[in-house]
Amino acid sequence: MSRWKVLFLFVLEIATEMFSEDIYRYTVLSHFPSPNNSFRTRWQIDRKMSIILLFLISPLIFCFTYLSMFGMPHFKYGMTVPEQSVHRAILYSSSQNMSHHPWDFHLKTHKHYAVKGYKLVCYYSLPSSSDSLQVEDIDPFLCTHLNVAFATVVNNTAYLDEKQKDYLKKLLELKQSNENLKVLVSVGGAGNIGGFPEMVANHTNRKTFIQSVIHYVKNYGIDGVDLDWEFPNEEPGKDKIQRVHFTQLLEEFRKSINREPHFPYILSVSVAAPAAIIDNSYDVAYINEYVDFINVMSYDYHFYTKVTPFTGINSPLYTADNEKYYLSTLNINYSVNYWNYLGVERHKINVGLPTYGHTFRLINPSNNGTYAPSLGYGKLGKQGFVSYPQICQFLSSNQITPVFDMETKSPYASKYYEWISFDNSQSLIYKAEYIRDNNFGGAMVWSLNSDDYKGICKDEQGGVSKFTLIRNIKKVLQGES
């Protein structure tokens, strides 16, 4: 049934009940008696006047009813987050069900050593349209590493189609301007796990895959490969051998690197942030031995699902006071220290930072803090994902001042039924300072595409700059802020 029909029937029912003769006799004549012979005439006159009045105010009734049932309509903005699956976000939300992790885990004291040369690893989704971020618009000095997203696993090889290869060649030309820039091909991605289980299953398949990567190193001049399998042993108890096979793949990669002294290349792994998935998917000590660094995907901690029908911060730096047990582990500080506790050296840990946000649809606009009941994705963006330029336009067009949560060091904003968790310059400066002060290896950013690459967002002084968020991260890591 359409919305219009629902509203029409609603008004019709009110009119039918309101103007019946029995109700009129009870509600009116009991307070304003009239002679018996004039009752029906009076009822007919009042009924006509009331119907006229009802239809005069019906636009107001319609608007109120529409807002109550369907919420406030929003404008649609361009520059959406590049195609990405909600696969990882859903897995993060359901990860509580796959672990018996001791949530009261406490960190040991570590002796920190200053990191020389922080890494700033930026993911770049290859263009899907003319409105997407183009290679020529990327500053070759912005990031230390560019991860090309994504190659897939096809017939046990790292596969890029011809169009992707053309873009890869253009990206490698950026190295002519900055010879220190590293360009890696990232294999996999959220929801793109096809081919991984079969490829890691035996030595022959793994060898074929490694040789395909070496082909890109030698023939295209890429600097390495990033493995983004989300995630080994995804279904607990079904195929735990995947975790072992993934470790074997990393070991064999390291041996091949050592055998190719004239073609050294980088081996990195993008890994989960929730402790439950870490325990389930990785042999952490071996990962530390075989890879150059890991990229911890410390975002998507809170995302609308039927299991988690409430608002939450996308990438909180710390836990909030009201978060207990499992919820107290869903933050950057816990995740990266847990990886370190299990055996990955701090200088090999890159902390994941998002340039996008998550939207939620509130049930009650008056209840608009964190953990407020939600009934789905917000209208802004796509499937709960929204880019930074979209967020800027939403805030400015609605004249909204975000709430900055000092516990999690993260902002959020709401308007009517729309609720958004995101990161801005203020929150990312806090997080970059955390990386620097705790001597982690650097930051990983998802992604160049969802940052303000067109220079739309205004800063506090009213100025604009391209890639505002990533530039602020870089300034902190380089000691400029």
> Is the pLDDT assigned to residue 330 strictly greater than 50?
yes
- Mean pLDDT check: name the lowest of 85-94, 230-239, 273-282, 350-359: 85-94
Separation of alpha carbons 303 and 377, rounded Å: 9
- Mean pLDDT check: name the lowest of 26-35, 238-247, 328-337, 407-416: 26-35
> Is the pLDDT assigned to residue 76 strictly greater than 70?
no
Pairing of the two strands 145-154 and 157-159: antiparallel
Separation of alpha carbons 364 and 310, rounded Å: 11
- Mean pLDDT check: name the lowest of 140-154, 291-305, 342-356, 450-464: 450-464
The mean pLDDT value for 45-67 works out to: 65
Q: What is the pLDDT of residues 445-455, one digit of tens each?
A: 999 999 999 99
> Is the pLDDT assigned to residue 69 strictly greater than 50?
no
Catalytic option among 21, 179, 230, 418 = 230
What per-residue confidence (pLDDT) applies to 263? 83
**Would you mind telling me the total number of residues written for the chain in this entry?**
481
> What is the residue-averaged pLDDT of the chain?
86
The mean pLDDT value for 257-271 works out to: 93
What per-residue confidence (pLDDT) applies to 476? 98
Instruction: Read off the pLDDT band of 103 (50, 70, 90).
Output: low
What is the Cα gyration radius of the chain? 28
What per-residue confidence (pLDDT) applies to 463? 81
Contacts of residue 264, defined as CB under 8 A and 6 or more positions apart, other chains included, come to 257
Separation of alpha carbons 51 and 43, rounded Å: 12
Q: Check whether the bond before 447 is cis (ω within 30° of 0).
A: yes
> Is the pLDDT assigned to residue 430 strictly greater than 90?
yes
Helices (H), 294-347: 332-342
CA 168 to each of CA 75, 172, 220, 239, 313: distance values in angstroms, whole numbers, following the listed order: 35, 6, 8, 35, 34
Separation of alpha carbons 355 and 443, rounded Å: 12
Which domains, from first to last, does the chain contain?
3-70 (no CATH), 87-477 (3.20.20.80)
DSSP result, 410-463: EEEEEETTEEEE---HHHHHHHHHHHHHTT-SEEEEE-TTTS-TT---B-TTS-
The mean pLDDT value for 234-238 works out to: 65
Separation of alpha carbons 34 and 476, rounded Å: 83
pTM for this predicted structure: 0.82
What per-residue confidence (pLDDT) applies to 191? 80
Separation of alpha carbons 431 and 445, rounded Å: 12
230 catalytic per annotation? yes
